[in-house]
């Protein structure tokens, strides 16, 4: 088996089974009805967010993100909208809890639902305000535009494989950030799969701790800021990218190593470069985590 064949085989095994897709659609329908039953709020428009909306979902790590865009003329302030939606969901769903811009419902291990309330901007229907509950302020962006930018990138194989690498190595940086990095460093869409992945590893190894990456929907937002991703998580991503590049990526075994199944994963001691084993944990992938 060649490296290219191995990577393509990995992708084929990341297809979401039809029964899970049905479950996700049923869950969205359920939460739409639940939120539409909130009498004091206007009815929102619902959108798919996250990996489902961007068509980058992988079997190893998936969830659904339901964006709820309330109209700009709703009489309630953004913070109130968020709190009303949060309290309503929590009153019905015992496994619901508050994230930063999302309300998360844990359905089972490895699968959760993030509900993201937003209020449209009056000047641009695609732009919306998201409430950052941890900082008690609003974030102006367009998740619709973010999704479209990722969907327009033709190398779906690179996007899914870099997410699989992130998941299997327990890298806790936002998927949207990694997707934008992948798009930016792979302007040549004819690049080989392994060549494209190496470029992403090199960027993360050399620049993830210091880069400034503007939100494509609002350049004043830095999606690589410490506010979005903790410096400790950036450091871990850098170390794992460095370790990945140290593998023999001209040989099949090197790629098998960095894409090993997530039973155990490496935790790096940056002082001596040695590695030790740690129990795996799932990596979040949602608008709620992107701005957490």
pLDDT score at 144? 87
Residue 3 in tokens: 């490296």
Q: What is the pLDDT of residues 182-227, one digit of tens each?
A: 999 999 989 999 999 999 999 999 999 999 999 999 999 999 998 8
Q: Are residues 187 and 100 in the same domain?
A: no
Q: What is the pLDDT of residues 150-182, one digit of tens each?
A: 999 999 999 999 999 999 999 989 999 999 999
pLDDT score at 217? 93
Q: What is the pLDDT of residues 68-88, one digit of tens each?
A: 999 999 999 999 999 999 999
pLDDT score at 126? 82
Count of domains for the chain: 2
Q: Are residues 144 and 230 in the same domain?
A: no
User: How far, in Å, CA of 115 to CA of 113, rounded?
Assistant: 6
Q: Are residues 62 and 126 in the same domain?
A: yes
| pTM greater than 0.75 (yes/no) | yes
**Residue 126: which domain range?**
18-148
Q: Are residues 69 and 32 in the same domain?
A: yes
pLDDT score at 39? 94
pLDDT score at 275? 43
User: How far, in Å, CA of 147 to CA of 48, rounded?
Assistant: 9
User: How far, in Å, CA of 211 to CA of 178, rounded?
Assistant: 12
Q: Are residues 285 and 194 in the same domain?
A: yes
Q: Are residues 79 and 168 in the same domain?
A: no
Q: Are residues 71 and 7 in the same domain?
A: no
pLDDT score at 110? 76
CATH number of the domain at 227, please. 1.10.1410
pLDDT above 70 coverage of the chain, percent: 89
pLDDT score at 10? 95
Whether residue 283 is predicted with pLDDT greater than 70 in this model: the reply is no
The pLDDT of 29-34, averaged and rounded, is: 97
Q: Name the 3-class secondary structure at 219.
A: strand
Q: Which residues pair with 269 in a beta bridge?
A: none
Q: Where are the alpha helices (DSSP H) in the chain?
A: 3-12, 18-36, 50-54, 78-92, 143-152, 156-168, 175-185, 193-207, 231-246, 252-258, 287-290
CATH number of the domain at 128, please. 3.30.460.90
Q: What is the pLDDT of residues 88-106, one digit of tens each?
A: 999 999 999 999 899 999 9
pLDDT score at 143? 87
Q: Are residues 85 and 213 in the same domain?
A: no
Model confidence at 261, pLDDT cuts 50, 70, 90, reads confident
Q: Which of 95, 118, 148 is the last residue of a domain?
A: 148
pLDDT score at 270? 40
User: How far, in Å, CA of 249 to CA of 201, rounded?
Assistant: 12
Mean pLDDT of the chain: 88
Q: Are residues 127 and 159 in the same domain?
A: no
- In the chain, the largest separation of any two C-alpha atoms, in whole Å, equals 61
pLDDT score at 262? 60
Q: Which of 148, 167, 198 is the last residue of a domain?
A: 148
Q: Are residues 163 and 283 in the same domain?
A: yes
Q: Are residues 267 and 286 in the same domain?
A: yes
Q: Are residues 88 and 176 in the same domain?
A: no
Q: Which of 128, 148, 168 is the last residue of a domain?
A: 148
């Amino acid at each position: 088996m060649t490296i290219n064949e191995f990577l393509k085989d990995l992708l084929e095994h990341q297809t979401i089974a039809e029964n899970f897709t049905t479950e996700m659609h049923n869950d969205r329908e359920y939460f739409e009805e639940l939120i539409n039953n909130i009498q004091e709020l206007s009815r929102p428009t619902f959108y798919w967010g996250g990996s489902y909306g961007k068509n980058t979902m992988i079997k190893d790590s998936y969830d659904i993100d339901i964006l709820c865009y309330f109209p700009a003329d709703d009489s309630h302030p953004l913070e109130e909208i968020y709190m009303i939606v949060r309290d309503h969901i929590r009153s019905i769903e015992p496994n619901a809890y508050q994230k930063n811009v999302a309300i998360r419902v844990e359905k089972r291990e490895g699968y959760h639902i993030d509900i993201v309330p937003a209020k449209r901007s009056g000047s641009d229907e695609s732009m919306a305000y998201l409430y950052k509950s941890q900082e008690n302020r609003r974030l102006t962006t367009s998740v619709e535009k973010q999704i479209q930018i990722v969907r327009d990138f033709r190398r779906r194989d690179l996007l899914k494989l870099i997410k699989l690498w992130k998941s299997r190595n327990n890298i806790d940086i936002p998927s949207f950030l990694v997707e934008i990095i992948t798009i930016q460093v792979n302007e040549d869409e004819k690049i080989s799969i392994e060549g494209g992945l190496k470029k992403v590893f090199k960027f993360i190894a050399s620049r993830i701790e210091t880069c400034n990456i503007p939100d494509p929907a609002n350049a004043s937002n830095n999606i690589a800021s410490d506010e979005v991703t903790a410096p400790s998580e950036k450091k871990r991503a850098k170390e794992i990218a460095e370790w990945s590049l140290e593998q023999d990526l001209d040989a099949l075994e090197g790629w098998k190593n960095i894409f090993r199944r997530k039973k155990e994963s490496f935790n790096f001691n940056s002082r001596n470069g040695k590695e030790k084993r740690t129990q795996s944990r799932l990596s979040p992938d949602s608008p709620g985590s992107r701005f957490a």
